[in-house]
Amino acid sequence: MNSTPGTEIIEVASGIYARLHENLTNAGIIVGDEGVLIIDSLRMPSFARDLISDVKLITSKPIKYVIDTHAHWDHSWGNEEFPDATIIGHQNCYVEMMDDQWNEEWRSKILTGGDPWAEEAKIVNITPPNLTFDSSMSLYIGGRQLELLYFGRAHTSGDVFIHVPDEKLVFTGDVIQDRRVPYLGDSYPADWPETDDKIAELPIDTFVSGHGPNGNHEDLLEARSFIHELVNASKNAIQEGRNAEQATESVIETLSDRFGDWVGFDTLDERIPEVIAKLS
Ligand SMILES: [Zn+2]
């Protein structure tokens, strides 16, 4: 399939695709009888338009639903390209996307980041979900049940999981990634371990993440261990009365044997003081 350069589309189950984008953000594509459901609209309108073109390589059916796994710009700022679709997200995702301060902080970070999409960030019309839920929602697409699940705060306040029970498959957004350190800047470290414990109970064989490759259940448990160990090591450092610098050093030292080769571990130290502050 000749999809957008840098992307690879993998059929993970019949009619269910992971569209992996190297070093950027992944999307999901689920084809039903009447229409298509997209998981994450990606970072900018131009990225959403590329995604829409790639969907047309698979099916001519219309895109009827978009699910935002969470409010982060690189997952949801393409929403405006789907004016005819129902855009679904958690209630807290809606609140975050309506938060002008949050949006403008992200917009200015992107504008000064110098990436090829920086200019486009100026004109994004941030479009929140128009259908929200609190704990769970079921959708039936092509005779198949999708469970939209909320297990509590984690990577943001409104992370949702899209579970396909018949296929033992789950889309995890940024909460669970395969051998990658998730972004911690908007996270809730006090709540995240418990949220991960709930995902770990899902009877799945495969997950599709917001970034990086697909993983299996063992990889999911490893991602959970990372968050547990990060939070435990941070709490220990707090109890020992260490200052931010010493605490960061001891957390990195504790985690490096097991997770040191993960993508993003090299910059984890920049985030530890914030994690410590949130746990203190
Ligand atoms: Zn994110």
Measured CA to CA, the distance from residue 221 to residue 230 in angstroms comes to 14
Domains of the chain and any CATH numbers: 1-133 (3.60.15.10)
d(CA 57, ligand 1 centre) in Å: 27
d(CA 102, ligand 1 centre) in Å: 13
Helices (H), the chain: 45-58, 73-76, 91-97, 100-113, 192-200, 217-239, 244-259, 272-279
d(CA 258, ligand 1 centre) in Å: 23
Nearest to 27 by CA among 65, 61, 62, 60: 65
**pLDDT digits (tens), the chain, 280 positions:** 799 999 999 999 999 999 999 999 999 999 999 999 999 999 999 999 999 999 999 999 999 999 999 999 999 999 999 999 999 999 999 999 999 999 999 999 999 999 999 999 999 999 999 999 999 999 999 889 999 999 999 999 999 999 999 999 999 999 999 999 999 999 999 999 999 999 999 999 999 999 999 999 999 999 999 999 999 999 999 999 989 899 999 999 999 999 999 999 999 999 999 999 999 9
d(CA 143, ligand 1 centre) in Å: 30
pTM for this entry: 0.97
